[in-house]
Chain A
Amino acid sequence: MISPRAVVDVRSLHVRFGEVEAVAGVDLTAYAGQATALLGRNGAGKSTTMRVLAGVVPPTAGSAMVAGFDVRTRTLEVKRAVGYCPDVGGLVPRATPWEHLQLSARLRRLSSWEDRARDLLERFELGDVAHRVTTGFSHGMGRRLSVCLAALHEPQVLLLDEPFDGVDPIGVEATFDVINDARSRGACVLVSTHLRELAVEACSSVLVLRGGAQVAATTAGEMAGEEGARAYRSLLD
């Protein structure tokens, strides 16, 4: 059996904002064709780790390789390989969903992207508001559109930060579909969330962060059910 290829490889990652150490020594490996969940309480460093992997925030120390590129020195290549759904908002307030998709398509040099864009909007039930500015969107609508934007170009690495937050069941199902599609075409998926049940349903492996550092790496099965809930709870304290 061929072992899966590591697409995301993080070693001893540190991110500091002034006096605050948001990430304090995270090690993380994520593989092609697999979905990995980043679990942890608020402030555990999940979102900052995702921002580093998306090329948005540079690491203070340690190394982070994404799709074979160092995020510190090959940031543009990393951004080309990644599709990122940020944790907060993630939308330009006075642009429409279609304009977001157009901007992404132009900057990523996509061709024949329109059909896929329309399909994504329909799957996430955003087709009716495709030409309305996002400032009037509900939180859930914004989350759903952020997932569409991350998935548009079928990225090699799909980074979804709190994609289920405030999203209705139809949106959750559509997000599961996007994750499964990505896995099936060999992409590496990282899902950051504090919702354990949804994480174990969507992912095959789980990393738990606490206080900016990794405290556990396990399979999704071990985090499932009552037993998994107790194990997760004990890791958070």
Chain B
Amino acid sequence: MPTAASSTEQQLQEVRRSVRDVGHLIAFRTHTVRRPRSFATITAVFVGLTVAAAGVPAFVDGAGVPRGYALDAVVVLPSALAGFLLLAIASAIASGGGRELLHREHAVVFPVSPTTDHLGALLLAPLNVAWLLQAWILLGLTSYGVGRAHLLTAEIGAVIWIAAATAVGQVVAWTVEAVRRTTHGIAIVRGLGLALAAGAVVLQLSNHFGDLLDSLQTSWLVVGYVDGITWRWAATIAVEIGVLVVGVVLGAVPAHLAARRAPRDEVGVETGHHPARRLPRSPFAALVRTDRGSVWRAVPMRRGVAVLAFGPGVVALAGDLDWPQMTILPGLVASGGALLFGVNAWCLDARGGLWRESLPVNAATVFAARAWVLTEFLLAASLVTMVLAGLRAGLPSAAELTALLCTWLVVVLQVVASAMHWSQRRPFSVDLRSARATPAPPLVMVGYSTKLAVTTTVTGLVFSGLARVPFVEVSILVAAPFVVWSLIRLLHARDSWTDPVQRARVVTTVAG
């Protein structure tokens, strides 16, 4: 009689082990948080906001009635559910399979399986401001549309959908990553990406984008949400749980496939030759050239800026935004761009920071070069977005164009000032080799992205209003104090960098 464990038993053991490892890694991450009290406060705030988003709208006047805005909320809910799925897919693909529970460089000494990595990425998916905002909007819409009577049952459905869509997004992202790592994978993925973007634009231009969202049958889910505890609701929940379980389990398969293949774009960067160029004309130019290389030769930065520059631009192009509405775009792109490296700008040097710091150059020049490279990176990305968005908008009036240009300048300066300030105040030692790398721990990134999103969105809305005022001077006058304030913050960050004690703290921290 055979006594050896069957292959199925072994696989189950592996899965159990992987799940337990996720618990160990989470415990490790939470115990190594630098500021436990802040961590607890931030967690409580986000849980509170989620509960508020799910509950408060149901108690607002007009909630849950079958007419007016409540009816509109229910009508728009299927599209919102489908939109969340698309966002989950795009977000996971852009981050190369999602965030890492344990950084790759640190994980090499531990037997962390791709299944653990997959489950960890799923758990960390909510630590993304785009994901959070969309989730809160979805919960709020459900709450307002359904009202108090069936709030709990409807929100259970919405929450499970959010989890299921995230799991499906992860499956697609791992699959894309596995394909990207094949011989012609990079070309295939880029080709598919372009074809999908072009397809989305064509669908929108031909007014068929709504048909596509309808074909996803998310309205079937909404029908199940609205009538409380019924067989229909139970069937809806069962289907959602099925999708969630299948997504979670299935995601491990492409995750293993991707883990067995070398990340070709990273390998390409690390083995590529860069022929010698002429000696830069000045110390500042030499520093700028080195910093530019650090940015544009990094896979996460190249991939991230492509998604940031073209994604909102294509959406805006498809959505046929008018010029005043476009003032939201530069802030969105600049915020996202800063989150690629700007919020921990000194990490570009990594362990080379110690050597660079031993070079005889004024600290203020080093600061100016780094701030300039970040500024031009953000300006370039947001310019691409604005040009794309403007293709269908016709010629702007002088006031509209001035408002947009003022917004561009103001939000980029706001973001650069904040990013350089945070880079100085809270440096982290990170390796930006991997497409999944982020310049700061996930929770810190949520804080940064929330602050940047709020600041730049409010600024964009101010200038959106000013774009409708037929006087060019108004936008310029309003922009002036914004610019001055950001420059003052930037000078404060520079002063902090030029202090040798502060600079030594930053350099030794990022050097690891």
The minimal Cβ–Cβ distance linking A8 to chain B, given in whole angstroms, is 15
The minimal Cβ–Cβ distance linking B426 to chain A, given in whole angstroms, is 15
Q: Is A92 an interface position by the 8 A CB rule?
A: yes
Q: Are B283 and A106 in contact (CB under 8 A)?
A: yes
The minimal Cβ–Cβ distance linking B378 to chain A, given in whole angstroms, is 19
Q: Is A104 an interface position by the 8 A CB rule?
A: yes
Residues of B within 8 A of A88 (CB): 351, 354, 511-512
Q: Are B357 and A56 in contact (CB under 8 A)?
A: yes
* Chain A binding surface SS class: mixed
Q: Are B294 and A92 in contact (CB under 8 A)?
A: yes
Q: Are A82 and B358 in contact (CB under 8 A)?
A: yes
Q: Are A58 and B286 in contact (CB under 8 A)?
A: no
Residues of B within 8 A of A55 (CB): 357-358
A61 and B143 alpha carbons, distance in the complex (Å): 62
- Among B274-282, B390-398, B401-409, the one that faces the other chain is B274-282
Residues of A within 8 A of B352 (CB): 89-93, 95, 100, 134
A99 touches which of B274, B282, B285, B298 (Cβ 8 Å): B274
On chain A, the number of residues with a Cβ less than 8 Å from chain B's Cβ atoms is 45
Q: Is A146 an interface position by the 8 A CB rule?
A: yes
Residues of A within 8 A of B362 (CB): 76
Q: Is A94 an interface position by the 8 A CB rule?
A: yes
Q: Is A12 an interface position by the 8 A CB rule?
A: no
A224 and B294 alpha carbons, distance in the complex (Å): 44
The minimal Cβ–Cβ distance linking A148 to chain B, given in whole angstroms, is 11
Residues of A within 8 A of B290 (CB): 92, 95, 99, 103
Q: Are B297 and A89 in contact (CB under 8 A)?
A: no
A132 and B276 alpha carbons, distance in the complex (Å): 10
B507 touches which of A56, A91, A93 (Cβ 8 Å): A56
Instruction: Output the residue of B274, B280, B282 with the most chain A CB within 10 A.
Output: B274
Q: Are A92 and B350 in contact (CB under 8 A)?
A: yes
- Among B265-273, B465-473, B480-488, the one that faces the other chain is B265-273
Q: Are A103 and B360 in contact (CB under 8 A)?
A: no
- Of the A-B pairs whose beta carbons lie under 8 Å apart in the complex, a sample of 10, sorted by A's number, is A56-B357, A80-B360, A86-B351, A88-B351, A94-B293, A95-B294, A95-B352, A106-B279, A133-B270, A135-B270
Interface residues of chain A, those whose CB is within 8 Å of chain B, are: 17, 51, 54-58, 75-77, 79-80, 82, 84-96, 98-100, 102-108, 130-136, 146, 149
- Per CB-CB distance, the 9 closest pairs between chain A and chain B, nearest first, are A89-B351, A136-B270, A92-B352, A86-B354, A79-B360, A106-B286, A84-B358, A94-B297, A90-B355
**17 new A-B pairs (CB below 8 Å) besides A76-B361, A96-B274, A102-B279?**
A56-B357, A57-B508, A58-B504, A75-B500, A79-B359, A80-B360, A86-B358, A87-B354, A88-B354, A88-B511, A89-B512, A93-B432, A93-B433, A103-B359, A106-B286, A107-B360, A136-B271
